[in-house]
Amino acid sequence: MKIRLIGKNLEELKAVADEAGLPGFAARQIADWLYRKKVRDISAMTNISKAGRDALESKYEVGAILPSECVSSSDGTKKYLFPVTCSHGNVFAEGGERMEDGAVEAVMIPEDDRKTLCVSSQSGCRMGCRFCMTGRQGFHGHLSAADIISQFVAVDEADGLTNAVFMGMGEPLDNYGNVMKAMEILTAPWGFAWSPKRITLSTIGVIPVLKRFLDESRCHLAVSLHNPFGDERQELMPVQKAYPITDVVELIRRYDFSGQRRVSFEYTMFMGYNDSKRHADALARLLKGLECRVNLIRFHKIPDFPYDTIPDELMEQFRKRLNASGIVTTIRASRGEDILAACGMLAGKHE
């Protein structure tokens, strides 16, 4: 089996070039072909000598995973299904970890002049949030940086993507090494050369790793909050027991979000569970003084779950109450519900 080039950073590509007998600058050439030109085959790297390409092809391949299926929504959203082989170790190592076949979904969301890719970092998830279809299917493994980057280069809109949100399948901070490596490739001048402002990572609040992310990255942060009361939050989000939302917010307060990096709090609304004035006021107290935004998200009904979607007017009342309390609050438009691509609906097709 050949080794994949996609997902490697510049230092790793330098080692590949050296092994193939190529000059040092060839590493940047390979990176350019992988991440800017998005080629599918080493033979397309035409500014590398034929002998050099032959040397690379003897051991390596580009290795991007192509989607096996694509479905389109009536609102223009597109959902791609990718077959993957996942690792159950903390760091992906080809042949070195217990592997499991899985599937992940990525969602392309068009809006005006933007094309945002909602990308997955794991097949399934082990956080166990009861309202999330991904969490309810269990955990099948971590994606490698190669499989994360494959989602960016293999969708039809690859050359037109403007933004990325790590809000697909999986908890990104539970696969920190591979997610950060993918972010390095996305933001490095030798990679995609994206500004960190174009990327948002969403987490339920894994505090020790969240601190590393805040120290090591300039990308935006989104925190899945969903209820300001710890006992109620724990009913739907087991992570609350280990990492209370009050502790998550206190950690975030230590960092500066008054400049280019932003933090938002995601709040999925459930009828009769977290939609009262009491919840709005508690949420305002929790976030008081923090430079942030709250995004209210419409819940999409899933099987065997006790709560329902709330009416538009109740969401609007909740939004107005938070805004009146000084918390900038918006209602996020629901996209792709008819193809099961909206928030919390990604489940892949894992056998």
- Positions marked active-site: 105, 343
Here the tokens at position 242 are 């280990």
Nearest-angstrom CA–CA distance, 143 and 130: 22
Cα distances (angstroms) measured from residue 288 to each of 256, 275, 280, 285, 294: 15, 19, 12, 5, 12
| Strand runs labelled E in 131-231 | 139-142, 163-166, 199-203, 220-224
Nearest-angstrom CA–CA distance, 78 and 71: 6
Residue 52: DSSP 8-state: H
Q: Kind of pairing, strands 60-61 and 3-4? A: parallel
Cα angle 237-242-247, degrees, rounded to a multiple of 5: 95
